[in-house]
């Protein structure tokens, strides 16, 4: 292999590494997700970026591609002091408490309008901001029977 080839290959490898690093740094508000995940013991089905974002392929989760659930969180007046900070901002526990409180406040809403409340979706492993992700009917009925006080108020 000639020196020129080695150089070309090295450039390609470096370019790929750079793209990888750049795509890894933008990860929405990972700390928000971690906090919500912990509160509801979310699994791999909904404890991920699509909980609040609607990302197209090759698009990073950000404030421009929030889904209906993400938008509902963002629209809550309590969230105001937390908005506009980027992923590098060191959110304090107190600030993350606000995020948790806002999500709890929105529990009885059905942000994506699929007939299951946000709490039901979070607890049953589906996405509260994606109407195509709905809890299994039998599971939902069982959950409602087990939690009548929480789901019957309208
Ligand atoms: Ca829903």
Q: Separation of 93 CA from ligand 1 center, angstroms?
A: 28
Residue indicated by tokens 């900070």: 85
pTM of the model: 0.78
Residue 24 CA: distances (Å) to CA of 58, 94, 97: 12, 26, 26
Tokens of 46: 């909904």
Q: Separation of 113 CA from ligand 1 center, angstroms?
A: 5
Q: Separation of 115 CA from ligand 1 center, angstroms?
A: 6
Question: Which of 128, 130, 131, 93 lies closest to 107 in space, CA to CA?
Answer: 128
Q: Separation of 13 CA from ligand 1 center, angstroms?
A: 44
DSSP state of 66: B
Q: Separation of 121 CA from ligand 1 center, angstroms?
A: 6
What SS3 state is found at 115?
A: coil
Can you list the pairs that 136-142 forms with residues at least 24 positions away whose Cβ atoms lie under 8 Å? Answer: 140/116
Residue 146, pLDDT > 50, answer yes
Q: Please provide residue 24's backbone torsions phi and psi, each rounded to the nearest 5 degrees.
A: -80, -25
Contact 68, 112 (CB under 8 A): yes
Q: Separation of 116 CA from ligand 1 center, angstroms?
A: 4
91-139, pLDDT tens digit by residue? Answer: 999 999 999 999 999 999 999 999 999 999 999 999 999 999 999 999 9
Q: Separation of 20 CA from ligand 1 center, angstroms?
A: 34
40-54, pLDDT tens digit by residue? Answer: 999 999 999 999 999
Q: Separation of 97 CA from ligand 1 center, angstroms?
A: 23
SS (H, E, C) 32-43: HHHHHHHHHCCC
59-82, pLDDT tens digit by residue? Answer: 888 888 999 999 999 999 999 999
């Amino acid at each position: 292999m000639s020196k020129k080839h080695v150089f070309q290959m090295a450039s390609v490898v470096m370019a790929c590494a750079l793209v990888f690093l750049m795509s890894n740094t933008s990860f929405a508000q990972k700390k928000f997700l971690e906090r919500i995940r912990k509160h509801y013991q979310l699994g791999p089905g909904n404890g991920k970026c699509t909980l609040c974002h609607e990302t197209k392929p090759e698009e990073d989760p950000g404030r421009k591609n929030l889904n209906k659930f993400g938008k509902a969180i963002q629209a809550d007046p309590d969230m105001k002091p937390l908005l506009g900070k980027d992923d590098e901002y060191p959110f304090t526990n107190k600030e993350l408490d606000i995020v948790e409180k806002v999500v709890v406040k929105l529990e009885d809403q059905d942000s994506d309008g699929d007939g299951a409340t946000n709490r039901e979706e979070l607890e049953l492993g589906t996405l509260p901001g994606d109407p195509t992700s709905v809890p299994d009917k039998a599971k939902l009925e069982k959950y409602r029977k087990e939690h009548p006080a929480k789901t019957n108020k309208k």
